[in-house]
Amino acid sequence: MLAARLHGVADLRVAEEQVPAPGEGQSLVRVTAVGICGSDLHWWAQAGIGDAMLARPLVPGHEAAGIIAAGPRQGQRVAIDPAVTCGHCPSCLRGYRNLCANIVFLGHGTQDGAMREYLAWPTHLLHQLPDALTDVDGALLEPLGVAIHAADLGHLKLAGSAAVAGCGPIGLLLIQVLRAAGAGRVVAFDLLAHRRTAALRLGADVALDPAAGCLADSGEVDVAFEMAGTCDAVGLAMSVVRPGGRVVLGGIPDDDAIRFRASVARRKGLTIALVRRMNDAYDRAIALAVTGKADLSIVSNRLELRRADDAFSLAASRRGLKTVVLGAER
């Protein structure tokens, strides 16, 4: 099989490898679509993310869908939940599966990810795709789940107002989740014009360029979501949220540090929450996608697995909205 393996900064090589053998409780999946996430770009551009550094050549990718290749569910199209949790640590027992102390996650640390032709993965983490969803849609259910989790952390009341600072793929999905959850007004911010255009198409009431000095046009909001991974976006979110509001931080900064003006946060009495992946959101993500409340048509670039390195370069350039690597045809 072909596999894309990261050997160092911007050094992604596609080569032949052995097909993995499923272990107990696992199924072999032929991977058909893998989205490139912002966290994948950290691995590619920095050979690490946060305090996790590349320890050996790693197969990236955790936003994935495929077809079960053998066993009782052979032929079933599935979305792949990338998180294997222990089920017995304090976080798992409290219901915070995304905070598991012993989590194994596709494409992170020493766990090879989904950017290969075949993947052996726990069967119970393979969610059947309805006929209404394509395999590429299936790969977008993971970032949609992250958007759902972010919205959960925001506790936005019905008909409340929200701001989204950063309209990359998860920011665009979050706008739709907020609308589906009953947001009365959604303000979007992004430096890139094509992302602002997409934000308006997908449900934002207004999309503003933060570099254009337009904060006065946004008005105060009840909850602000930062999805860009920059200190400027964090400061922007804190500037537009009302006193006593909530700020949800979902971006991953390059230098593993978040900085903001303490006086602003303190004087406003802000509540700050941070997004860690998602917590069992696949069923809700599938329901939103099937009913059309979440439009997954944000994929602008589709490249085959042999061109995985080109796909990362394209995603890093921020041209288009979402880049997906397609599995090899069989």
d(CA 311, CA 55): 23
Q: What are phi and psi of 96, to 5 degrees?
A: -100, 70
Residue 105, token pair as written in the block: 């996650």
Q: Which parts of 129-283 are beta strand (E)?
A: 161-165, 185-189, 206-208, 221-226, 241-249, 271-274
Q: Which CATH class is domain 145-274?
A: alpha beta
CA distance 19 to 290: 33
- The whole-angstrom separation of Cα 81 and Cα 95 is 17
Q: Say what the pLDDT of residue 171 is.
A: 98
**What pLDDT is attached to residue 234?**
97
Task: Give, for all 330 residues of the chain, the pLDDT tens digit.
Answer: 999 999 999 999 999 999 999 999 999 999 999 999 999 999 999 999 999 999 999 999 999 999 999 888 999 999 999 999 999 999 999 999 999 999 999 999 999 999 999 999 999 999 999 999 999 999 999 999 999 999 999 999 999 999 999 999 999 999 999 999 999 999 999 999 999 999 999 999 999 999 987 776 778 999 999 999 999 999 999 999 999 999 999 999 999 999 999 999 999 999 999 999 999 899 999 999 999 999 999 999 999 999 999 999 999 999 999 999 999 664
Q: What is the pLDDT of residue 218?
A: 75
- Separation of alpha carbons 184 and 161, rounded Å: 6
DSSP 8-state class, residue 58: B
Separation between Cα atoms, residue 171 and residue 183, nearest integer Å:
15
| 3 state SS of 25 | coil
For domain 2-133+296-326, give the fold. Answer: Quinone Oxidoreductase; Chain A, domain 1 (3.90.180)
Given this model, what pLDDT does residue 215 score?
72
Predicted confidence at residue 263, as pLDDT, reads: 95
Largest CA distance in the chain: 60
Measured CA angle at 291 (ends 293, 250), to 5 deg: 40
Inter-residue contact 248 to 153 (CB < 8 Å): yes
Instruction: Count Cα atoms within 13 angstroms, Cβ side, for 16.
Output: 0
Are residues 13 and 1 in contact, defined by beta-carbon separation less than 8 angstroms? no
The number of helices, as runs of H, and strands, as runs of E, in the chain is 9, 19
Rounded Cα distance, 173 and 70, in Å? 33
Query: Residue 315 contacts by C-beta under 8 Å, 6 or more apart in sequence?
Result: 36, 40, 41, 301, 323
CA dihedral 19, 21, 26, 29 (to 10 degrees): 20
Q: Give span(s): CATH 3.40.50.720, the chain.
A: 145-274
In the chain, CATH 3.90.180.10 covers 2-133+296-326
In degrees rounded to 5, what are phi and psi of residue 272? -115, 130
